[in-house]
Amino acid sequence: MSDLHERVLDWYAENARELPWRAPDATPWGVMVSEFMLQQTPVARVLPVYERWLEAWPRPADLAAVSTGEAVRAWGRLGYPRRALRLHGAATGIVERHGGEVPSSYDDLLALPGIGDYTAAAIASFAFGRRHVVLDTNVRRVLGRAVAGVEFPATAVTRAERDLATGLLPDADAVAATWAVATMELGAVVCTAAAPRCGACPVADLCAWRAAGYPAYDGPPRRGQTYAGTDRQCRGRLLAVLRDSDGPVHRSTLEQAWSPAGQRDRCLDWLVDDGLVARLSADTFALP
């Protein structure tokens, strides 16, 4: 292995956060749940929901046995609630195709409903110690800065980026799995997007971006994080009303949760079409 590998792995051994999905007794299902919840969501927000989720549904079969509405309700305010539907669908697929046990192979994981390339690779790597390229936002940023010399990666994974990550993957399965989580951790807590802590980075003197004088990102405009007043916020408000209700909700109650009416009705239709809300009558709604 190169000096880059050794330093990152040594840093991780000393600085890795203690998280329940990294614990020695973490199950493959626990790892899988964490991967769904951590997408675009900080660890601090995920932890309490993760713990309650596994208390309620410690196995895929437990989740598959309840309604999708219960999954959406338990998802709470994590955001992007379609992830709850996808996780429920994946759990159902695990029960139907794999006897209730999370499969260990990338191909079997990828074939499950709601699982894409990143999630399949992450579960195979983190739950089963398999050798896979795991490219989340944090990993891409670390490799982009340290090796490619760019501040931020492209909006979507490029062939050159995947080839770079593949070439850096250690040969041994267990070491490759640790390398994946170590680079992810480095991007999450040191090589952050807004304020990288280069003084705490174990590979600062090897970093191509730093050596080039920190050239500014010159690619397409990066997506902002505006939330207030968006359809996403509107959908979240409407879902919150339905989650907090013990039964069906009349349209008049939803009208009190958000205005203007046009945006509210559009978002309500979106929630129904996406399977997150059930329309019981013209003016009555509930979780599915």
Residue 125 has pLDDT above 80, yes or no: yes
The model's confidence at residue 94, banded by pLDDT at 50, 70 and 90, is very high
Which domains, and CATH codes, for the chain?
1-15+132-225 (1.10.1670.10), 16-128 (1.10.340.30), 231-286 (1.10.10)
pLDDT computed for residue 126 by the predictor: 97
User: Which pTM does this prediction carry?
Assistant: 0.88
Are 53 and 244 a contacting pair, CB within 8 Å?
Answer: no
Residue 123's Cβ-side half-sphere holds a number of Cα atoms within 13 Å equal to 28
Amino acid identity at 149: G
pLDDT computed for residue 219 by the predictor: 72
Per-residue pLDDT tens over the stretch 139-162: 999 999 999 999 999 888 999 999
Are 125 and 180 a contacting pair, CB within 8 Å?
Answer: yes
Token representation of residue 139: 């990993």
Q: 160 to each of 102, 104, 156, 191, how far by Cα in Å?
A: 31, 27, 11, 21
Given the residues 18, 35, 55, 255, the one annotated as active site: 35
Residue 70 known to be catalytic: no
Taken in order 249, 70, 54, 130, is the CA torsion positive or negative?
negative
For residues 166 and 255, what is the distance between their CA atoms, to the nearest angstrom? 51
Token representation of residue 107: 């191909």
For residues 111 and 120, what is the distance between their CA atoms, to the nearest angstrom? 9
